[in-house]
Each structure stands twice: as structure tokens, then as C-alpha cells.
């Protein structure tokens, strides 16, 4: 996430209590400052206390790492979940099939574990299909060539900015059975087993693939399975026509929509509908 560290150097107010997000990060850093640090820790925490041990960690880097955690580790997963619920509400047949599989696999188990995914091929396929259509980071993270490179007959000089186009593979018609539709069959073979095509790369590709891929996959599976096990999600009658067009940004997010929720069993008691969007309050 080097571009976030670049942003910190270009926007010096970050972490000072001024500007968007500054107060939040500033409070975190200030709270940390108030703690008494042991001398051996101060040598790596404060520039004036550093010795000759080669440490380069600074407060600016601390703030950059906090930004990495907030934007890369939280925003992407939460927006992927919003896309997943949007598709599940408008494809009740897919939701019901996932819930049936979840019920069969978990049975009387108190809670799901990440290992349960191996026995839930359809649910796995649904989650991956939601990620594919969410196309969370269509341009991934920009890279730069470190040396003169030749690729497919093209000469790429050292220092060239490389912008990968992940959307091109996530929607490539030659790579997917249903490239423009929400259909978990894109990740199932003829025997109903889960398969992951090479064209599936929402976390980018290569040596600098997203470091949070493992955490994101675990979060998406456990959150969706836990919620689908207990709740039924539906499109409210007065919510209008679903709009799948994303709002483009550093990461994509769905347009604001209303989410209907019912408790499974107990007569399908309706919990209500809640809005989602930039200023939503998700209360399930």
C-alpha cells in the first residue's frame, strides 16, 4: 500500500488533528505518546533516541500503517459485503441454496469455522462471485518497473508507472460462463465442486499481491455464513429498482440501498429495513 504512504508525505495534516481523518489518527498517536515507554522501545519510537541499530521506524510510518489498516483492511471488506448483500437480496434462489448448504454442514454446531468452507462449495462460489462483480479495486495498486523490461514485444523502460486493469480479467467474456451476471456457477465445475479460475484476481497478482488476502477471505466467509445462517435478507417492496452501478473511487462501493432483514425461523419475524450508504447505520 505504498500509495498511502505517499499520500501521508503529500498531506502533512494527516495525524495532526487537522483535515479529514486527521483527528482520529491524531488521537491514536497522542494516546500512544502519553504512555511511558521503556528506553529500549523509545530508541525505535523516537528519532532522537535512535541508535545505530539500523531502525527507520518513525511516527510518520506509524500513521501510514494506521491508514493501511483502515483503508486497505476495513473499507474493502465492508464494501464487498455490501455488494454481496445487494446480490443476495435480488437473487433469493442463490440465498436459499446457500442457507440450505450452511444448515446441512453446520447442523448443531454453535458457530462456523473457516475450515467449514471445504464442505460448502456453493457458498464459496457465491462469495467469490460477489467479489468478482464487486471489482473492488479495478486499477489495483500502481507499480513501477525497477529495471528495463521487455514484455510481449514491448520495451518498458525502468521507472515506468504500471497501472494494472483488473476489470479486464474479472469481466473477460472468454474466461467466464456468465461474465456479466451474478451466477455462482462461474466458480463451479460440472460436478458442483468449487474451482477458482486463473482470471479471478481481485487481490491483484504477482509478487506484490495484496497482503491481506488471507484475512479478507476469512472475514468474508465467516461473516456471510454466520449472518445467512440466522437471517433472511430481502429487497423491500418500496425500495425501487435495484441499481448495481458502483460508485467509483480508490475502491468501488455500491450506491446506497435499503436492506430488508428477517429472522430465519420463528415465523420469519421481520426485523425491519435499514439504509446503507455513506451515512448508513447498519442495525441488524
8 A C-beta contact, residue 158 and residue 145 = yes
Q: How far is residue 95 from each of residues 60, 156, 218, 224, measured CA to CA in Å?
A: 45, 46, 19, 11
List helix spans (H) across the chain: 2-10, 22-34, 39-45, 59-67, 76-90, 92-106, 121-134, 167-170, 213-230
Which of 93, 96, 95, 115 is closest to 106 using CA atoms?
115
**What residue has cell string 467474456?**
173
Nearest CA among 128, 95, 81 for reference residue 233:
95
Name the nearest CA neighbour of 86 among 258, 229, 226.
258
Q: Judge whether 8 is annotated as a binding position.
A: no
Q: Is 161 helix (H, G, I), strand (E, B) or coil?
A: strand
Q: What is the DSSP string of 5-40?
A: HHHHHH-TTTTTT-STTHHHHHHHHHHHHHSPPPHH
Binding site listing: 210
Binding site listing for heme: 210
Amino acid at each position: 500500500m505504498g500509495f498511502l504512504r505517499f499520500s501521508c508525505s503529500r498531506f502533512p495534516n494527516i495525524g495532526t488533528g487537522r483535515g479529514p481523518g486527521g483527528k482520529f489518527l491524531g488521537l491514536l498517536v497522542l494516546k500512544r505518546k502519553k504512555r511511558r515507554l521503556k528506553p529500549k522501545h523509545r530508541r525505535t519510537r523516537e528519532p532522537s533516541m535512535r541508535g545505530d541499530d539500523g531502525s527507520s521506524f518513525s511516527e510518520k510510518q506509524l500513521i501510514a500503517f494506521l491508514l493501511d489498516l483502515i483503508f486497505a483492511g476495513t473499507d474493502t471488506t465492508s464494501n464487498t459485503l455490501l455488494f454481496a448483500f445487494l446480490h443476495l437480496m435480488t437473487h433469493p434462489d442463490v440465498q436459499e441454496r446457500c442457507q440450505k448448504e450452511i444448515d446441512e454442514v453446520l447442523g448443531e454446531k454453535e458457530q462456523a469455522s473457516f475450515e467449514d468452507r471445504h464442505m460448502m462449495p456453493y457458498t464459496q462460489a457465491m462469495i467469490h462471485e460477489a467479489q468478482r462483480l464487486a471489482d473492488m479495486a479495478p486499477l489495483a495498486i500502481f507499480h513501477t518497473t525497477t529495471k528495463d523490461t521487455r514484455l510481449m514485444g514491448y520495451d518498458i523502460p525502468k521507472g515506468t508507472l504500471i497501472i494494472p486493469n483488473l476489470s479486464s480479467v474479472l469481466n473477460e467474456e472468454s474466461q467466464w460462463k456468465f461474465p456479466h451476471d451474478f451466477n455462482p456457477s462461474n466458480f463451479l465445475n460440472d460436478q458442483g465442486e468449487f474451482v477458482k479460475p486463473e482470471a479471478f484476481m481481485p487481490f491483484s497478482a504477482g509478487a506484490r499481491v495484496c497482503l491481506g488476502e488471507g484475512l479478507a477471505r476469512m472475514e468474508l466467509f465467516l461473516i456471510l455464513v454466520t449472518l445467512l445462517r440466522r437471517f433472511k435478507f430481502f429487497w423491500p417492496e418500496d425500495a425501487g429498482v435495484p441499481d448495481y452501478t458502483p460508485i467509483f473511487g480508490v475502491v468501488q462501493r455500491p450506491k446506497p440501498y435499503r436492506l430488508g432483514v428477517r429472522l430465519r425461523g420463528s415465523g420469519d419475524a421481520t426485523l425491519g429495513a435499514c439504509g446503507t450508504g455513506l451515512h448508513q447505520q447498519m442495525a441488524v
